[in-house]
C-alpha cells in the first residue's frame, strides 16, 4: 500500500478500513479497546449519513445492528462517546487529509480533465475556539472531482498568506506534480511569492487583482481596454436577475512585465447585472500565468467562475447542511478533523453524482447497510446504490443501471434493527 499522502497508482482502490489503517494511532497501546481504523470509519460513515457532532456520530453507530458493527471492525460491542471523542481530537488531521482524498479519488473512474482547476480559499470555523484563538482553515478544492485535496490550519494571529506555501506543498504531494493544474484564488493570494511557488511546482496561477496590490491594480486600469476586442460573452438568468459577463484578454509582450512574476495575460471581466429593473456594472481584473494558446477567453471565463465552487459547493454546505459554525469542537485537532470528515462526506456524495448533499445524507442515514457496503468495498467501481431504482410516476421502481461489479446488496432490509 502506498504511504500516506501518495496518490493511488494503477487505478488500485482500497476499502475504507484498509486506508484508515495508515493513520498513526495517538492512543497509549495499553488502553486501546477498539481499532483506530474502525473508530475513524464510523466517524466517516456517520458524517456521510448527516451526523454533525461527535455525539451524533456515536448515536449513529449505536443504532446499527450487530452485523453492521462487525463489518466496521467491532466485535460484540461499540465504543461510547468518550472512546470516540478522544481519538478524534488527538489524531493527526494532516495525515487524515492525505489518506481520505486519495481514497475518494481512487474510486472515481472518470478520466482526469485536460486542465485541472484547484480553488483555494479559507474559512473560519466560528463555533470552534482553541486556547490560541479561532480556528481558520485554508483548503484546496479540486473543482473537477469535488474533493478537497489539502487543508492546513492558519496560525493564530496570522492570515492565509503564510499558509499558502504549506498548502501548495500538500497539493503537490497528493498529485505528484502541478503540471496541467491551474490554481485559482481571490485577491488576497495575488502575491509575488505565491506566483513563484506555483510556477516552481509546475502549475499556473489565475488570481484577481484588487487594491491590495495598488501598483499592479493601477497598471491594469491604465491598459488600453477600449482597443481590445471582446473575447467571450456569457448570459445567465435566474433568481430574479439577468447577468451578462464579458471577458477580454490582453497578452503581455514580456511575461512578468507588469511587475508580477510569470504573468502572461491581463484579463478584465465585466459583469452587468439587472435586478428588478435596476442595472449595475462591475469590472474585475485578473492575471493569468498561462499564454493565450493554453487559455482562451472562454477558458478564462469558466475558471473565474470555478473559483466560487469552493464557496458554493463546499463552505456553504459545511455551514448549512452540516451546521459547522454551531459545532463547538474546542479541543486538540477536533475542529480540523471534523472539517476533514465533512470534506470527505461532501466529496463522496459529489462523486456519486449527488447534486443535493442534504438529501444524500438523509438517504445514507436510511440505508446504512448499503453505505457500509460501498465504503468498505475494495472495488473501485462499487458506487452508492441509490441509483439502482427510482420512483416513476406510477409508483413502480425501475432500475437505472447496475452499479455493482459482482457484488450483492447486503441486508436489503436496512431499517430493521436487530440488537
Q: Which residues of 92-124 are buried (b: 16+ CB within 10 A; e: fewer)?
A: ebbebbbbbbbbbbbbbeeeeeebbbbbbbbbe
Model-level pTM?
0.86
Predicted pLDDT of residue 402? 30
Give CA–CA dist 369/371, Å, rounded: 5
Residue closest to 88 by CA, chosen among 342, 355, 293, 405: 342
Q: What pLDDT was estimated at residue 412?
A: 34
Q: Cell 488570481 identifies what position?
A: 207
Please report, for residues 188, 205, 248, 256, the alpha-carbon distance to residue 283 in angstroms, rounded to integers and kept in the order given. 17, 20, 11, 22
CA 402 to chain centre: 27
Please, which residues bridge with residue 133 across strands? 130
Cα dist from 250 to 247, 254, 285, whole Å: 10, 12, 11
Q: How many CB atoms lie within 10 A of CB 302?
A: 16
Q: Digits of tens for pLDDT over the chain (419 positions)? A: 444 544 444 445 678 999 999 999 998 888 788 899 999 999 999 999 999 999 999 999 999 999 999 999 888 788 888 889 889 999 999 999 999 999 998 887 667 778 999 999 999 998 887 777 788 999 999 999 999 999 999 988 889 999 999 999 999 999 989 999 999 999 999 999 999 999 999 999 999 999 889 999 999 999 999 999 999 999 998 888 899 999 999 998 887 778 899 999 999 999 999 998 899 999 999 999 999 999 999 999 999 999 999 999 999 999 999 999 888 887 888 899 999 999 999 999 998 889 999 999 999 999 999 999 999 887 655 555 555 444 333 443 333 333 333 333 333 333 333 33
Q: Nearest CA to 183 among 117, 138, 137?
A: 117
- Look at residue 312 in the predicted model and tell me its pLDDT: 94
Question: Angle at which helices 36-48 and 54-62 pack, to 10 degrees?
Answer: 100
DSSP notation for 154-204: PPTT--HHHHHHHHHHHHHHHHS--TTEEEEE-GGG--HHHHHHHHHTT-E
Q: Bridge-partner residues for 142, per DSSP? A: 118, 147
Residues 6+ apart with CB under 8 A from 47: 57, 322, 341, 342, 344, 345
C-alpha angle 381/387/392, rounded to 5°? 160
Nearest residue to 413 via CA among 374, 366, 351, 356: 366
Q: How far apart are CA 266 and CA 269, in angstroms?
A: 10
pLDDT of residue 302: 95
16 in helix, strand or coil? helix
Amino acid at each position: 500500500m502506498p504511504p500516506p499522502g501518495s496518490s493511488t497508482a494503477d487505478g488500485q482502490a482500497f476499502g475504507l478500513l484498509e486506508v484508515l489503517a495508515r493513520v498513526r494511532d495517538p492512543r497509549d497501546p495499553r488502553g486501546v479497546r477498539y481499532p483506530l481504523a474502525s473508530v475513524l470509519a464510523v466517524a466517516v460513515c456517520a458524517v456521510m449519513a448527516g451526523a454533525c457532532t461527535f455525539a451524533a456520530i456515536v448515536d449513529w453507530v449505536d443504532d446499527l445492528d450487530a452485523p453492521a458493527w462487525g463489518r466496521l471492525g467491532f466485535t460484540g460491542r461499540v465504543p461510547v462517546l468518550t472512546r470516540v471523542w478522544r481519538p478524534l481530537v488527538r489524531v493527526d488531521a494532516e495525515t487524515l487529509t492525505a489518506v481520505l482524498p486519495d481514497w475518494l479519488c481512487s474510486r472515481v473512474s472518470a478520466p482526469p480533465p485536460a486542465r485541472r482547476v484547484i480553488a483555494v480559499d479559507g474559512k473560519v470555523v466560528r463555533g470552534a475556539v482553541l486556547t490560541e484563538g479561532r480556528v481558520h482553515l485554508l483548503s484546496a478544492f479540486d473543482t473537477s472531482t469535488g474533493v478537497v485535496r489539502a487543508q492546513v490550519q492558519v496560525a493564530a494571529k496570522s492570515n492565509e498568506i503564510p499558509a499558502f506555501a504549506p498548502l501548495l506543498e500538500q497539493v503537490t504531494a497528493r498529485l505528484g506534480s502541478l503540471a496541467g493544474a491551474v490554481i485559482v484564488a481571490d485577491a488576497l493570494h495575488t502575491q509575488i511569492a505565491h506566483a513563484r511557488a506555483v510556477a516552481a511546482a509546475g502549475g499556473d496561477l489565475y488570481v484577481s487583482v484588487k487594491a491590495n496590490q495598488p501598483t499592479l491594480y493601477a497598471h491594469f486600469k491604465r491598459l488600453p481596454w477600449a482597443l481590445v476586442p471582446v473575447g467571450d460573452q456569457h448570459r445567465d438568468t435566474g433568481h430574479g436577475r439577468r447577468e451578462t459577463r464579458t471577458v477580454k484578454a490582453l497578452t503581455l509582450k514580456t511575461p512578468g512585465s507588469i511587475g508580477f512574476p510569470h504573468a502572461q495575460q491581463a484579463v478584465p471581466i465585466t459583469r452587468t447585472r439587472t435586478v428588478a429593473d435596476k442595472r449595475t456594472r462591475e469590472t474585475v481584473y485578473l492575471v493569468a500565468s498561462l499564454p493565450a494558446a493554453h487559455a482562451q477567453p472562454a477558458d478564462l471565463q469558466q475558471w473565474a467562475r470555478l473559483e466560487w465552487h469552493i464557496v458554493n459547493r463546499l463552505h456553504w454546505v459545511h455551514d448549512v447542511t452540516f451546521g459547522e459554525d454551531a459545532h463547538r469542537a474546542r479541543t486538540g485537532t477536533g475542529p480540523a478533523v471534523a472539517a476533514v470528515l465533512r470534506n470527505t462526506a461532501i466529496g463522496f456524495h459529489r462523486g456519486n453524482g449527488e447534486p443535493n448533499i442534504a438529501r444524500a445524507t438523509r438517504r445514507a442515514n436510511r440505508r446504512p447497510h448499503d453505505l457500509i457496503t460501498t465504503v468498505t468495498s475494495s472495488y473501485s467501481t462499487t458506487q452508492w446504490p441509490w441509483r439502482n431504482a427510482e420512483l416513476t410516476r406510477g409508483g413502480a421502481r425501475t432500475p437505472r443501471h447496475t452499479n455493482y461489479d459482482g457484488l450483492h446488496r447486503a441486508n436489503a432490509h436496512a431499517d430493521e434493527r436487530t440488537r
